[in-house]
A and B are shown apart, each in its own frame.
Chain A
Amino acid sequence: GQNIDQPTEMTATEGAIVQINCTYQTSGFNGLFWYQQHAGEAPTFLSYNVLDGLEEKGRFSSFLSRSKGYSYLLLKELQMKDSASYLCAVRGPNFNKFYFGSGTKLNVKP
């Protein structure tokens, strides 16, 4: 089966750093994606990892360890607009399916 786990909710302070973890157990793996979803809006792409290591894009970085079935999204210099849900998604072996976690709701406080 497919299992993607993320914390349900996290709170952090404006200007701080927060790490959102994602663990997965899937039959086959062809990349891990992170999406941001503001309330009432569609998800938007943040990052993609297919090899182990850290991918950095501005204030956002994503890390992957395939042997551990583990990824995290790191958000630096938090801003109020970063308050959103963050979805971890694993692409399956045939490139045709994405398995999404339930999302982590991040609350950024002043």
Chain B
Amino acid sequence: GAGVSQSPSNKVTEKGKDVELRCDPISGHTALYWYRQRLGQGLEFLIYFQGNSAPDKSGLPSDRFSAERTGESVSTLTIQRTQQEDSAVYLCASSPGGLAGVGDEQFFGPGTRLTVL
């Protein structure tokens, strides 16, 4: 597709349930990021994938959070046993690669708004 897509756009779940969020990056982009953005706050780094390298999971807030990526395509972020504090917008971004370069920007998807009741 032309841009990064995410699904679902909105997810309402009950505390304790598991949720799975999906990200389709721009074709050919080897780098993929997941962020969390709470209301009125900046972006909080969660996880980074680069090609076939081991992902950088250092931003995941707890072991309830996990993410996978199939090759250089789709990624899923899974939150187990959701808590109310997990309520936020989860943004996915992709970029062409992991090396510096002019305009090596991240392209963001529209996000998934997660509400945990």
B13-21, B40-48, B64-72, B78-86 - interface stretch? B40-48
CB–CB A87/B48 < 8 A: no
Q: Does A24 contact B (CB under 8 A)?
A: no
CB–CB B103/A48 < 8 A: yes
Residues of B within 8 A of A (CB): 31, 33, 35, 41-45, 48, 50, 56, 58-59, 91, 98-100, 102-111
CB–CB A102/B42 < 8 A: yes
CB–CB B43/A45 < 8 A: no
Neighbour of B108 across the interface among A4, A43, A99, CB < 8 A: A43
Q: Is the interface of B mostly helix, strand, loop or mixed?
A: loop
Neighbour of A31 across the interface among B42, B50, B100, CB < 8 A: B100
CB–CB B59/A97 < 8 A: yes
CB distance from B2 to the nearest CB of A (A): 14
Among residues 74 to 96 in chain A, which have CB atoms less than 8 Å away from a CB atom of chain B?
Answer: 87, 89, 91, 94-96
Q: Which of A91, A95, A101: most chain B Cβ within 10 A?
A: A95
**Contact partners of A61 in chain B: CB under 8 A:** none
CB–CB B41/A102 < 8 A: yes
Q: How far is the CA of A87 from the CA of B41 in the complex (A)?
A: 10
Residues of A within 8 A of B (CB): 4, 30-31, 33, 41-45, 48, 50, 87, 89, 91, 94-103
**Contact partners of B100 in chain A: CB under 8 A:** 30-31, 50, 91, 95
**Contact partners of B104 in chain A: CB under 8 A:** 31, 48
Q: How far is the CA of A96 from the CA of B111 in the complex (A)?
A: 20
Pairs A–B under 8 Å by Cβ, sample size 30: A4-B42, A30-B100, A31-B104, A41-B110, A42-B108, A42-B109, A42-B110, A45-B103, A45-B105, A45-B106, A45-B107, A48-B102, A48-B104, A87-B42, A89-B43, A95-B100, A96-B50, A96-B56, A97-B48, A97-B59, A98-B33, A98-B43, A98-B45, A98-B106, A100-B35, A100-B43, A100-B44, A101-B42, A102-B41, A102-B42
